[in-house]
Amino acid sequence: MQRLSSYVQGAWHAGTENSETLYDPTTEEAIAECSTAGIDFGACVRYAREVGGPALRAMTFAERGKLLKALSGAIHEHREELIEIGVTNGGNTRGDAKFDIDGATGTLAAYAHYAKSLGDRKFLSDGDGEQIGRTARFHAQHVRVPRHGVAVHINAFNFPSWGMMEKLACSILAGVPVIEKPGTPTAWLAWRVAQITVESGILPEGSFQFLCGKTGDLLDHLGGQDCMAFTGSARTGALLKGREALVKNNVRVNVEADSLNAAVLAPDVDASSDTYGVFLSNVVTDMTQKTGQKCTAVRRILVPSDRVDEVRTDLVAELARIQVGDPRDKANRMGPLSSKAQFDDVRAGIERLAAVGDVACGGPQPLTDKGYFVAPTLIVAKDGEAEIIHSDEVFGPVSTIVPYDGDAASAAAIVRKGGGGLVCSAYSNDSDWLETYVLEAAPWHGRIWTCSDRVAEQTLPPGMVLPNLVHGGPGRAGGGEELGAARGLEFYTQRTALQGFKGFVEKAFGAK
């Protein structure tokens, strides 16, 4: 069995007490264990602040960008090995494992590219300067500078590689050291990426620490210059956000939580159109990729009431093509859920949704005697107003068709019942319909993806998170925001308004 260790204060630490066990979700075989017993979490925070922070802040944005580019290359060199771990530990198909790993290296490379435009400076000019006195002599300029703290990243189990590196890319480029904590069920992959990171020697000492196991009292040591970014369930995010030490010390907190993302089909979309084909393809992809264990997966499918039977028939036919089984077999397009806990939660969730709808395909029954396998499950709501459809996210290959009257504003009103989302998708060739929907839905979403025949051949699926666009959302989705190119650095930097003699302020800190 693989023993996973933590990297803290410049050394690897393998706790031996209170170990947590990781399993192969295909065979249920125990494959690894980890523990953080014996780690002084307060010392980890001080080490990051006192060693890693100064080393990063001594570098320019361009220099930090070169680190990210080199790290992307170092991880990519181990791609095949990492894919195998993703298959074994996460139950990923090869395609799903590549999605996670390539997402990590791609995001690092993207932020290395963004660094070039930020230049050889150690701060960012924030907008243009302006006159604030009787004459132009008295001048003001906003700037952004790295905060003198540490960024604690608590990552989700579903993207152990991508989730860790997308947060790291923003923080390191901003000049802030990180302490990374992966979701335990799939921590083997994150641990191996951490090993590669440390062994590469690319990042300055103290700028990267890695905790494999419980975080103990780590968060209680954070102060006003520190921050915490969390990805996971809305319930856990709310508990962390309300932690006494974080509130007392005004620690910056960013939460990216689950959300009941919707796909909306407009009434004008003909079944023979390219847009309808993209609609079917995207819904199936976002239901089954990573076995539906994506924060951007489609949970609600809004369909005009008079087309529910048609869409149901077409989606069932498409989902029937998804062969489920051992992800090591290339013929299988969907593997198991990542853990026993997820398996139990998803099966129970399907039963709750089935109480307010008809199961068109799939269901809660296990597919095998061994392993955490469920079938792609499509449910048709009997009552689109049923609260559970808009409040209970089943984090697996499960989605519900919700009938609506075809009106754009009505569709947005139904989608808003989810309380805030990361992304919603809308399919229409009617520009007026789309404009109405976007304006009504946008306040409840971090991202809105639209499709028409004009872009059907060029679109990426709405579940694809891109480093140049913001990721996050209001309300239930956590109220946070990350990525978005240079916008992703804002969380890790302090905006300061400088005032003084224009000759000094503009020359030293003005935009270039």
Look at residues 303, 298, 259 and name the one whose alpha carbon lies nearest to residue 282: 298
Question: For residue 479, is it left (φ>0), alpha (ψ between -120 and 50) or beta?
Answer: left
| Amino acid making up residue 363 | G
| Amino acid making up residue 416 | R
Is 387 one of the catalytic residues? Answer: no
DSSP state of 296: T
Task: Compute the C-alpha angle 397/402/403, nearest 5°.
Answer: 150
Look at residues 440, 474, 395 and name the one whose alpha carbon lies nearest to residue 302: 440
| Amino acid making up residue 289 | Q
Name the CA dihedral angle for 442, 444, 446, 452, rounded to a multiple of 10 degrees.
Answer: -40
| Alpha carbon separation from 8 to 74, 149, 180 (Å, rounded) | 21, 16, 10
* Residue 146, beta-bridge partner list: 493
Distance CA 255, CA 233 (A): 9
Is 34 one of the catalytic residues? Answer: no
Which position among 33, 166, 256, 481 bears the catalytic label? 256
* Sheet of 20-23, strands arranged across: 2-4, 30-34, 20-23
Would you say the C-alpha torsion 113, 115, 119, 125 has a positive or negative sign?
A: positive
Instruction: Provide the token pair at 137.
Output: 């002599």
Residue whose token pair is 């069932």:
316
Which position among 295, 393, 424, 481 bears the catalytic label? 295
The DSSP bridge pattern shows strands 124-125 and 138-146 to be antiparallel
Look at residues 507, 506, 508 and name the one whose alpha carbon lies nearest to residue 128: 506
Residue whose token pair is 């390219």:
274
Distance CA 12, CA 34 (A): 12
Residue whose token pair is 């969380």:
491
- 447 by Cβ neighbours in 10 Å (0-12 / 13-18 / 19+) ranks as buried
Q: How many CA atoms lie within 13 A of 366 on its CB side?
A: 11
| Alpha carbon separation from 406 to 221, 306, 447 (Å, rounded) | 52, 9, 22
Please identify every residue annotated as catalytic: 256, 295
